[in-house]
Amino acid sequence: MKSIIFLAIFLCMISYSHAIKTKVEGKVPGAENLDLRFYVWDDFITFKETLLMNVPINSKGEFEFEIDLHKNEVLTGFFRIMNFQSPEIYLEAGKEYDLDFDTFDYKDPNRIFIPHMTNLEISYHINNIDSTSVNFLIQMFNIDYNMFIVNELNLKPDIRSQIMYRLPKSKVDSFVNTQELKYKNFNNDFFKTYMNYTFAEMHLGFRTCGIETIYRDYIYKKPIQYDNIQYMSFFTQFYSDFIFSVSTKINGRAILRIINSKPDLNGIIDSLGRDTLLKNELIREAVLVLNMKEWYSNPYFSKENLILLMQEYIKNTKFDLQARIVKNLVFLLTRYQKGNLMPEFSFKNIDGPEYNNDSLIGKTSYILFFSTWCKSCWGELEVMEKLFHEWSDSINFIAVNMDNEPLKLYYFLDEHSFSFPVYHFDNDYILAEELSLESYPHSMLIDKEGKYIMYNAYLPSEGIHDYFKLMFAPPVEKEIEIGN
CATH number for the domain that contains residue 26: 2.60.40
**Which amino acid, 274?**
R
Whether residue 460 sits in one domain with residue 352? yes
Alpha-helical regions (H) of 76-188: 134-153, 169-182
Whether residue 212 sits in one domain with residue 250? no
In a domain, 2, yes or no: no
In a domain, 484, yes or no: no
In which band, very low, low, confident or very high, does the pLDDT at 77 lie, cut at 50, 70 and 90? very high
Mean pLDDT of 309-334: 96
In a domain, 445, yes or no: yes
Whether residue 452 sits in one domain with residue 426? yes
Q: Average pLDDT, whole number, for the chain?
A: 89
Whether residue 443 sits in one domain with residue 417? yes
Rounded Cα distance between 250 and 375, Å, is: 51
Whether residue 454 sits in one domain with residue 357? yes
Mean pLDDT of 199-218: 94
**Which amino acid, 189?**
D
Alpha-helical regions (H) of 189-344: 189-206, 211-218, 229-239, 252-261, 265-272, 281-295, 303-316, 320-334
In a domain, 5, yes or no: no
Whether residue 262 sits in one domain with residue 214? no
Q: In the listed set 76, 107, 128, which residue is the last one of a domain according to the structure?
A: 128
Whether residue 326 sits in one domain with residue 408? no
Whether residue 309 sits in one domain with residue 248? yes
**Residue 297: its pLDDT value, please?**
92
Whether residue 437 sits in one domain with residue 362? yes
- The candidate with the shortest Cα–Cα distance to 62, out of 96, 40, 95, 34, is 34
Whether residue 247 sits in one domain with residue 235? no
Q: In the listed set 189, 218, 239, which residue is the last one of a domain according to the structure?
A: 239
Mean pLDDT of 68-89: 94
Judge whether 434 and 444 are in contact, CB under 8 Å: no
Q: In the listed set 197, 212, 239, which residue is the last one of a domain according to the structure?
A: 239
Whether residue 92 sits in one domain with residue 25? yes
pLDDT at 196 over 90: yes
Domain count, the chain: 4
- Name the residue range of residue 57's domain: 16-128
In a domain, 290, yes or no: yes
In which band, very low, low, confident or very high, does the pLDDT at 70 lie, cut at 50, 70 and 90? very high
**Residue 18: its pLDDT value, please?**
72
pTM score of the predicted model = 0.87
